[in-house]
Structure 1
C-alpha cells in the first residue's frame, strides 16, 4: 500500500544505492604521450609535403635540367616521374619541340648595289640542352645568337644576287636559297656548340626602301621593255629567216616540178607521136580524118561562124558526105 501511495519510492532507493557505491578515481591525462604522437604525425606530414614538392614530371617534348648548387648535375628527357634532392637541387624546363622565331627586319645590299628590306623567320629547336645552357645561358640568349648568324648568312647569300634574281622565284630558286641559308647557319651553330638546330629559314617579304622604290620600279619597267623589244627583234629576224627559207624551198619545189612535168610531157609527146606513126602506117585515111577533126576542135568554138567552099574537106566532113 505504501508503494501505491509514493510512486517515487523506487527511484529514491536506487539513488541511495548509487550513493553507497565507491567512486572511481580520476586518472591524470598523459600530455607527453599525446605530444609525442602529434609530433610524429606532424613530422610525417612535413616529410610527405617535402617529398611531393620535390617530385617532378618530365613531359614529352621537353628537357628537365637538374642543377646542384648552380651546376648542371643531370638532364632528363625521357617522360616519367623523377625526384630531386630537397633544398640542394633545382629543376628548370627547356623545350624540345620546334619553335618559331621572328627575326627583325634588316636592310641588305644586293649585287647590283640596291638596298632591300628583308623580313624573314626561322623554325628552330634545342637538340642539346647542356650545350645550349653552357654556351648561351638562356633560351633567349640562344635565340639572339641564332638571329645574328642568320642575318650574317642572309646578307652574304643575297649580296651575291641581283635584285631581280631575288624577287623572281624562277631565276633565284628561292627554295634552294632558303636551304642554303639553313645549312650555313647550322654549320656555324654546330661549330660553336650552341646545342640548337635551325630546321628552316624562310624569307617572307622583300621590300624596297621608300626613298628609292619608285626609281627602282621605273628602272624595272624600262628593263622589261628592253627585254620585250629584244624578243620582238629576235622574233622579226626569225620570221624573215623562216619566210626566206620557205620561199627558197617553194622555188626549188616548183623548179623540180616544172622539170619533172617537162620530162613527162616530152615523154608523152614522144609516145603520142609513136602511136600516131603506128596508126598512120596502118590506116592513112583514118589518120587524115583524125587530124582534120583535131584541127576542127582547135579552130571552131561553140558560136564560131565559118565560110568555106563546098568542095573543101571541112565542108565534106560537116555535111556528112565524106567518101
Structure 2
C-alpha cells in the first residue's frame, strides 16, 4: 500500500476543533454586542427631571416618572430637562418712575417647566425659555414701577413691594399661558434698587437739603413750643405771685387789725401808761443828735424827757 493513501487522523481532527472555537467566540462577541447595545439604550429617569425622547429630531415621548426606561437603539436619543424649581437672576435694568426719576432695578425670579412638550415645541431650548421669561419680566416690571414715584419704590415697606411682585407675576404668567410656552413663573423678588451713577450725586444733595429743611422745621417748631411754654409759665408765676401777695396783704391786714385791737384793749386798761408809751414813741420820731427843742421846764412832755415821772 502506498504511503499516499495513509491519512493522519490527528491532523484531520485539529482544523475541526479550531472551527468550533471560532464559532463559540463569534457567538460570544455577538451576545456581548447585543448586551452592550441593550445597556446603552437603557436610561434612568430620576426624581426632579424630565427625559425627552427624540426620534430623528422630533419628540416622541416625555418620561417624567422615576425609573428605568428604554429607547430604540440608534434612531432615538434622550435629553434631560429639570423638573424642579429654578432661580433666574434677571439682569439689572434701568427704568423711569412716574415722577421722571431714573433708577436701576435688580430682580430675581423662581420658575419651573410645567409642560415640557409645549416648551420644546413653542420655545425650543432651556436658554431660550429663560431669555423669553426675562424679557416678559422686564416689561412687566417697567410697566408696574413706571406707575409709582421714586420714593414709593425705595420705601422699605415690604407690603408695598410684595404687591408689586404679585402684579408682575400675574402679568408674566398671563403672557406665558397665552403663548403656550409651557413654563410658569412661581415668584419674582426685588433684590435692590440703585441710582445711575450720573444721578447719585444730585439725589444725595437733594436728600441732604430735604433733611436740613426738615431739621429746620423741627427746630422752629421746638422754638415756638419753648416760647409758648415760657409764656405760659411766666403767666402762671405772675398769677401765683399776685395771689400770694393778695393773701399776704390780707393776712398782714388781719394781723395789724388784731394787733391794734390788742393795743386798744391793753391801753384802755391804763390810760396814763398809754399816754407815757405814746410820748416815748414820739421821742423816737422827733429827737436825734441835732434836735433842738424849746419847751417850758414844767411841761409834762419836758418833765418826762428829763426823767421826772411824778
TM-score range for the pair, normalised by the shorter chain length: 0.5 to 0.7
Asked if the contact 2:137/2:172 (under 8 Å) is kept, the reply is no
Residue 170 of structure 2 corresponds to residue 187 of structure 1: yes
Equivalent in 32, 50, 54 of residue 41 of structure 2: 54
* Root-mean-square deviation (Å): 4.4
Distance 2:193 2:39 in 1: 51
Of residues 264, 270, 276 in structure 1, which corresponds to 2:254? 270
Q: Which structure 2 residues correspond to residues 37-48 of structure 1 after superposition, within 5 A? A: 37-48=24-35
TM normalised by structure 1 equals: 0.64
Q: Partner residue of 2:156?
A: 173
Distance 1:30 1:262, change over 3 A: same
2:249, 2:162 → 1: CA distance? 75
Alignment of 1:221-260 (within 5 A): 221=205, 224-225=208-209, 228-229=212-213, 231-233=215-217, 235-260=219-244
Which of residues 53, 61, 66 in structure 2 aligns to 1:73? 61
Q: Cα distance, 1:157 vs. partner? A: 2.4
Alpha-carbon spacing, 1:209–1:250, altered in 2? closer, same or farther (3 Å): closer
Q: 1:101 maps to which residue?
A: 88
**Inter-partner Cα distance in structure 1 for 2:54 and 2:164:** 35
Match of 2:77 in 1: 90
Report whether the alignment pairs 1:126 with 2:109: no
CA pair 57-307 structure 1, distance change in 2 beyond 3 A: farther
Q: How far 1:41 sits from its partner (Å)?
A: 1.8
SS of the aligned residue for 2:169 comes to helix
Unaligned runs of 5+ in 2: 1-6, 294-300
Bigger Cα displacement from structure 2, 32-41 vs 147-156: 32-41
In structure 2, relative to structure 1, the CA distance for the partners of 1:36 and 1:25 (3 Å cut) is closer
Q: Where does residue 133 of structure 2 map in the other structure? A: 146
Q: Separation in 2 of the partners of 1:107 and 1:280?
A: 103
CA 288–242 in structure 1, closer or farther in 2 if over 3 Å, else same: farther
Cα distance, 1:143 vs. partner?
0.5
Q: Secondary structure at the match of 2:71?
A: coil
Report the counterpart of residue 15 of structure 1 in structure 2: none
State the alpha-carbon separation in 1 of the partners of residues 235 and 164 from structure 2.
61
Matched positions, count: 276
Unaligned runs of 5+ in 1: 1-22, 300-304, 317-321
Render the CA deviation track for 1:96-125: whole Å, top value 9, x for unaligned: 455443434433222222344x25242433
Distance 1:57 1:44, change over 3 A: same
Q: Mean alpha-carbon deviation: is it higher for 51-60 or for 30-39? A: 30-39
Alpha-carbon contact 1:126-1:196 (below 8 Å) kept? yes
Q: Judge conservation of contact 2:53–2:71 (CA < 8 Å) in 1.
A: no
Distance in 2 of aligned mates of 1:270 and 1:157? 85
